Amino acid sequence: MGVLFLSRILDGLTGGNISVAQAYIADVTDERNRARGLGLIGAAFGLGFIIGPAAGGALSQFGYSVPAYAAAAIAFLNLLQIFFLLPESLSPQQREAISQHARPPFTLKALWQALQRPKVGPLLHVRLFFGLAFATFQTVFSLFAQAIGIEARTTGFILAYVGVLSVITQGGLIGLLTRRFRENALLISGLWIMGLSLLGWAFTRNLATLLVLLLPLAVSGGMLNTVIQSALSKSVSREEVGGTLGLASSLEAITRVIAPTLGGFLIQSVGVWAPGVFTALLMVWTVAFAYRRIIHPGRLERMQMDSSRAKVS
């Protein structure tokens, strides 16, 4: 048991390298193509979640340790490819220029300070609120499905369906969308679609309707994941990209700690519809926040100034 816990701790400590991969993409893409590049990472990540459980289940018939050995071998092959095949993302001149600047800290204080910054802060807030809503859906969906009479095997297929839709969105659709629409428009549209889909999920009681509702929910989730990361990478200097994306990943991890407990409590204490209604209301609040702090960041200040002037006069 001790070895199992140690392995999970090591996996958690090293599993955050997704932020390093995202920072690499930010280095090698321009602002026009960044969302597409980050979307491809998300798509690859989603494919892993689709293929991995199936492969692990197939290998487990030869012994429960076999999937672990296979995963270790894949990780080692990945390490070899990075070492021998992946080129440095920055030129020597760029690395020299970056080395002249102090590295941004990666602490709770740094996270708090980032949340106060005029461009980065609102995006990190949206990342947190959207992440909590989506994580609640993901972590309690199996309980929801059980409560409305969907068997476990079908639930697995439904989650795979959501994963495939997310991969399609991040792997191909997001590139088309970012070429035609501004990121702010995609952000606010994704939040609206997510909120309405979660509200529909709350009151769905049959499989056919559920499959229809999961289409916009999965697409908006994949779109928001990519657009928020892309917008964050454009809101900071090059040397801050990795740290900022790491902070965003930390916030997402926090939501995955809170969501199972919160969602389970709502289902047990309030009703099977409660997680959907709660997450929909959370998304409505997030839409209002995004309008106020991201889409029209100066409007609130102007209204307050006009109100103050009116009182004085």
Q: How confident is the model at residue 170 (pLDDT cuts 50, 70, 90)?
A: confident
312 domain residue, yes or no: no
7 domain residue, yes or no: no
When pLDDT is averaged across residues 250-259 and rounded to a whole number, the result is 88
* CA gap 170, 94 in Å, rounded: 29
Are the C-beta atoms of residues 122 and 246 closer than 8 Å to each other?
no
Percent of the chain with pLDDT over 90: 29
216 domain residue, yes or no: yes
For 45-66, the pLDDT digits (tens) are: 777 767 776 677 778 788 878 8
Mean pLDDT of the chain: 81
- Of 28-32, 127-131, 199-203, 227-231, the range with the lowest mean pLDDT is 28-32
Phi, psi of 139 (to 5 degrees): -80, -25
User: Distance between alpha carbon 184 and the CA centroid of its chain, in Å?
Assistant: 17
* CA gap 96, 93 in Å, rounded: 5
**pLDDT confidence of residue 217:** 93
Which range has the top average pLDDT, 10-14, 115-119, 226-230, 258-262? Answer: 258-262
Q: How confident is the model at residue 176 (pLDDT cuts 50, 70, 90)?
A: confident
246 domain residue, yes or no: yes
5 domain residue, yes or no: no
Residue type, 204: T
When pLDDT is averaged across residues 97-125 and rounded to a whole number, the result is 70
* CA gap 275, 102 in Å, rounded: 44
Q: What angle do CA 215, 47, 173 make, to 5 degrees?
A: 50
Q: What angle do CA 133, 137, 143 make, to 5 degrees?
A: 145
When pLDDT is averaged across residues 151-164 and rounded to a whole number, the result is 81
Residue 195 has pLDDT above 60, yes or no: yes
For 286-308, the pLDDT digits (tens) are: 999 999 988 887 655 554 445 55
**pLDDT confidence of residue 112:** 66
CATH number for 247: 1.20.1250.20
- Of 8-22, 84-98, 205-219, 263-277, the range with the lowest mean pLDDT is 8-22
306 domain residue, yes or no: no
Q: Give the DSSP letter of residue 172.
A: I
Q: Domains in the chain: how many in total?
A: 1
User: By residue range, what is the domain housing residue 83?
Assistant: 16-296
The two structure tokens encoding residue 194: 């997510």
77 domain residue, yes or no: yes
6 domain residue, yes or no: no
Are the C-beta atoms of residues 141 and 279 closer than 8 Å to each other?
no
